[in-house]
Chains A and B, each alone.
Chain A
């Protein structure tokens, strides 16, 4: 099973600043990685798949990068609606499909 590790667990950022979230895979997953945003009380929403392709309707301030075992989600200028939980998920070697433990982006 591929283990996904996200860091940090909590990221405190001021509105308008850049946020950088990390996700590491326990083995090479090429670019088979997705990122999700979850606002408390809501279902997760797909932000990015293929490590760097934004899903339909996702603003350009969200960008993904990386390949192999190291991945990054960057939010270029945080808006109020971006304060949420973010999860990465691998789909390189499935089943099982596995998620990272999540990063909470909170207002500084």
Chain B
């Protein structure tokens, strides 16, 4: 059973860079695409982007200028960087395995953007 766990700071200052890592266990990195999704408080789900184990990526056009996803297959991890954050980026950030549908999800981590 694939399991995912997000880690990273829960508080980021405006204009700085949000950085999160997702650690994958119980599955091969080559079996899925790996994705980030976020959910602002009280709102719905927004897909951020995905990466394949080969390193190929694709991002939501609304975030493309600020987002980067990378993978470290040796550590079974993939990471998210979102720069120039504002209060609108405050959300629970989830990592998930992607095979069309998002089959497995991490528990999520709340990131608050505030000075």
**Residues on A close to B: CB < 8 A?**
32, 34, 36, 42-46, 49, 55, 87, 89, 91, 95-102
Q: Tell me, in angstroms, the Cα distance from A95 to B58 when the chains sit together.
A: 7
CB of B60 within 8 Å of the partner chain = yes
Least distance between B23 CB and chain A CB atoms (Å): 15
Least distance between B32 CB and chain A CB atoms (Å): 13
B44 cross-chain contacts in A, Cβ below 8 A: 87, 99-102
Sampled A-B contacts (7; CB under 8 Å): A32-B100, A42-B107, A43-B106, A43-B108, A46-B104, A89-B101, A95-B49
A-B interface pairs (CB < 8 A), number: 55
**Residues on B close to A: CB < 8 A?**
35, 44-47, 49-50, 58-61, 94, 98, 100-108
Q: Tell me, in angstroms, the Cα distance from A91 to B32 when the chains sit together.
A: 14
Chain B at the A interface: mostly helix, strand, loop or mixed?
strand
With A43-B94, A91-B100 already in contact, the answer to whether A97 and B47 are too (CB < 8 A) is yes
Q: Are B61 and A44 in contact (CB under 8 A)?
A: no
Q: Tell me, in angstroms, the Cα distance from A91 to B108 when the chains sit together.
A: 22
Partner of A36, one of B59, B98, B102: B102
